[in-house]
Amino acid sequence: MFYDDPKKHNLKHNPFKALVSPRPIAWVSSMDTEGVLNLAPFSFFNAVSERPQMIFFAPNGPRPTGGEKDTLVNIEQTGEFVVNLCNYDLRDAMNESSAHVGPEVDEFALAGLTPEPSVNVKVPYIKEAPAALECKFLMNVTLPTNNPKSKNNMVLGEVVGIHIDDAIIDGGMIDMAKYRPLARLGYMDYGTTDNVFEILRPD
């Protein structure tokens, strides 16, 4: 099959996000200017470079009550955030933290998670997370949109500190079987890494 109009795929649901999968989940902690904590997952997320280490994620659209997502507002005001990585065991807490609640609600508390002080940013990371990337905000790229009510944003951040739970390190490497990162698939589906194999470069 082929289609080029996103409304004319003739399938049960739009397959775009199922095709671009699995996607890692940036579980972003941020803080407003009053110190109120915020936490939300974003699967339009990935690493973009190693030198320096940079990541992007996309807080798109307005909140259901209008206005930008709290995460974007906080990051633009404070210039800092943390990308916590999520594993299989934290899947329900991650999902709870995606609830559309007001900016006054601390989703750490909502999801029963522990804020742990970071080293190079004021925003705490999730103590229970297998790993966390402390980030300084670099820029927001406002992307085109075909929905006048919704904005598309690409937030870029530089990683300025990395926390790793020692329990997922084995022989000096990240043990994927212990890490079990949660991945977003299409629809309401998720996956985790249960099958790891090696392919060596030709040269």
Ligand X SMILES: Cc1cc2nc3c(=O)[nH]c(=O)nc-3n(C[C@H](O)[C@H](O)[C@H](O)COP(=O)(O)O)c2cc1C
Question: Which of 29, 31, 69, 90 is in the footprint of ligand X by CB under 6 A?
Answer: 69
Amino acid symbol at 195: N
Phi and psi at residue 143, to the nearest 5°: -95, 165
According to the binding rule CB under 6 A, does residue 63 interact with ligand X? yes
Distance CA 142, CA 114 (A): 32
Q: How many residues bind ligand X (CB under 6 A)?
A: 19
What count of Cα atoms within 13 Å lies in the side-chain half-sphere of residue 161?
Answer: 15
Distance CA 18, CA 185 (A): 5
Rounded to a whole number of angstroms, the minimum distance from the CB of residue 63 to ligand X is 5
Question: Which of 41, 124, 130, 157 is in the footprint of ligand X by CB under 6 A?
Answer: 41
Rounded to a whole number of angstroms, the minimum distance from the CB of residue 52 to ligand X is 23
Rounded to a whole number of angstroms, the minimum distance from the CB of residue 175 to ligand X is 24
Among all chains, which residue has been given the structure tokens 């080293």? 119
Task: Compare residues 22 and 169 and give the one whose CB is closer to ligand X.
Answer: 22
Please give the residues from 1 up to 30 whose contact with ligand X meets the rule CB under 6 A.
Answer: 25
